[in-house]
Chains A and B, each alone.
Chain A
């Protein structure tokens, strides 16, 4: 599968969902290509485990495929898909609590070893090392998924000002980290 080049903003056409409901596989393929990377990043931020994130990613797309008729043209489609992903993660957490498994004790394996570009890997590692969950999620939603601050605020339930300050704070932390590490 050809990997789509990284775009500055992820734009998903809302008519894709209608076509998917009608059984258009190409539309589903197009949707998948545009959104699997941001969804994976978002899920990895929650799970901190590459395998679990992969499972949840699969479940998310299955849900989207089955429930595409439920999509209402309100706001960004990516935000709708992100909420499905988050809900699936929360359901999984509840199941595991019921089963007596403490999700936080699981060692996290981010799976960045397979990344060939060293700088990209360093950036991702520092993101998970330095930033809190909320700051990281906001940066992923804004920079990787292409959501606006206002959309992020609506999705997360945080005030807009909080979203903006946390985003700036996270970016500054990363910039500071890489500014200190400049080669002499």
Chain B
């Protein structure tokens, strides 16, 4: 049965069941009017009686001056006014009392304890204040800066929503508007009189925020909590800023210009224990040291294996240089966020460069020594060793013996200078040579690789040709055999024919021999 059917049946059912009381209503209404009229007449009669009593009493006393009529009129007017006033006194008194009561209630309500006793301030980059009642239901949302006000205006929230739901909606909006991103920070300040309440909120909010960010796919966000009592004065981060500036002589302007993440990190360094982190934020702080170690080991693994081929060494060198380039590009992008991470990356890149250079120098040595591909392939590569040839001579060896005379000493100094210059030139030339050799080596390698591939192709072709030749030869042999067989067959036939002829000839001679004797 549809809703409409039900509705129709209900309406028609009640219409049928409802009694008709129209006339009874009219009768009752008339009775009431009569009663009301009667009461009015009675009131008027009573009033008149009262008035008449008053006038009589005044007449007897003779207090009134002027005409009696005027006096009576005045008296009547005054009495009426008095009656009106005194008659309505109760109403006026009640209304006055109600007004005073409202006034005092309002006063006590303003001065008394606020129901909104809990304030939660979230500093992401917009700062938003959430006002809660005792049952942690949201009473009010307020943006403390321009971005915060914009966010609150767009946010869909209602009074008496739970705090966790409001924060979920807030985080969604903030991530959409790209106020919060990976590597960012959230500072949650809870203003409450009861610290136990703060601790409870801190635990639950931490889990809620971490879970929501994980669902949205935003990682590496640090969430920190701080407790404050008293009235909230502005944003939560101002408390930290003032504390850092007053107690730790931090520059106010610098601290104010810090991002939330930087402020949290700075505060943790200066005031350890002041802030409490959410569970995932704690894990992030513990794990990055392990992650960095893993990263270094993996990089070392890439650079170590050099024993196999020069090609691999070349490839690893190419990888090292490309990694270095990538790291530098990333460093340029990440400036301003994580200084420590940037420093680590630079160290790693330096290590990679050094390792890459070592690999390249080793590759050069191998290419200089070997000409043939087979020899290059066969020769085992040495372990990591510095290129002795390219290194400059130690200065101690190059220094000449000190001369006793000054002129000689000056000459010696000049000589030493010359030698040093020559050494530098040599080094430069060697470096150039090395570069050239590198290029040559690379070219040779390329050539070798090409040749190898060509040779391999040729070999394959030769093999194929050989196989084809073999096949051809086999086919030829088979043909020859067949031909031989044919020839043999012919010869056999010829021989048979010959034998037959011989046989015939013998037979013919024997006949001839037998026939003359018979005559």
Contacts and interface: CB of A to CB of B under 8 A. Distances in A.
Contacts of B11: 6-7, 37, 143-144
A29 B9 contact: no
A111 B19 CA distance: 10
A114 interface: yes
Given A29-B22, A37-B18, A123 B13 contact: yes
A7 B11 CA distance: 8
Interface in A36-59: 36-38, 40-41, 44, 50, 54, 57-59
Nearest to B22: A32
Nearest to A125: B13
Nearest to A4: B15
Interface in A106-153: 110-112, 114-117, 119-121, 123-124, 127, 139-140, 143-144
Nearest to B6: A174
A178 interface: yes
Q: Size band of the A side of the interface?
A: 35 or more
Interface string A51-73: 00010011101100110000000
B20 A62 contact: no
B25 A58 contact: yes
Given A58-B28, A62-B29, A143-B6, A6 B21 contact: no
Nearest to B2: A175
B13 A61 contact: no
Contacts of A6: 8, 11-12, 15
Contacts of B25: 32, 58, 61-62, 65
A116 B25 CA distance: 26
B32 A66 contact: yes
Given A58-B28, A66-B29, A175 B17 contact: no
B16 interface: yes
B21 A124 contact: no
Contact of B13 (A36, A50, A115): A115
Interface string B80-113: 0000000000000000000000000000000000
Contacts of B3: 143, 171, 175
Contact of B14 (A32, A41, A66): A41
Interface in B6-60: 6-22, 24-25, 28-29, 32
B1 A178 contact: yes
B12 A1 contact: no
A119 B25 CA distance: 31
A123 B10 contact: yes
Contact of B21 (A44, A57, A174): A57
Contacts of B13: 112, 115, 117, 120-121, 123-124
Contacts of B14: 37-38, 40-41, 44, 124, 140, 144
Contact of A119 (B9, B17, B24): B9
A120 B28 contact: no
Contacts of B9: 117, 119-120, 123-124
A175 B10 contact: no
A58 B18 CA distance: 12
Nearest to B1: A178
A8 B22 contact: no
B19 A57 contact: yes
Contacts of B12: 6, 117, 120
Contacts of B16: 3, 114-117, 120
A98 interface: no
B8 to A, nearest CB: 6
A27 to B, nearest CB: 13
Contacts of B32: 62, 66
A144 B21 contact: no
A36 B6 CA distance: 20
Contacts of A36: 18, 20-22
A7 B6 CA distance: 13
Contacts of B22: 1, 29, 32, 36, 61
A128 to B, nearest CB: 11
Contacts of B7: 8, 143-144
Contacts of A114: 16-17
A139 B21 contact: no
Given A58-B25, A58-B28, A144-B11, A40 B19 contact: yes
A62 B18 CA distance: 17
Contact of B17 (A1, A32, A61, A124): A124
Contacts of B10: 41, 120, 123-124, 127, 139-140, 143-144
Nearest to A122: B9
A88 to B, nearest CB: 13
Given A37-B15, A114-B17, A143-B10, A179 B1 contact: yes
A65 B11 CA distance: 25
Most buried by B among A8, A37, A121: A37
A58 B10 CA distance: 22
A115 B15 CA distance: 9
Given A6-B12, A29-B22, A123 B6 contact: yes
A58 B21 contact: yes
B428 to A, nearest CB: 84
A174 B17 CA distance: 20
A6 B9 CA distance: 9
B144 to A, nearest CB: 30
B18 A41 contact: yes
Contacts of A110: 17
A62 B1 contact: no
A62 B6 contact: no
A139 B13 CA distance: 14
Sorted nearest first, the 5 A-B pairs with minimum C-beta distance are A120-B13, A6-B11, A40-B18, A61-B25, A41-B14
Interface of B: 1, 3, 6-22, 24-25, 28-29, 32
Given A112-B17, A117-B12, A140-B14, 12 more contacts: A1-B20, A4-B15, A6-B11, A32-B22, A32-B25, A36-B20, A37-B18, A119-B9, A120-B12, A123-B6, A124-B17, A174-B1
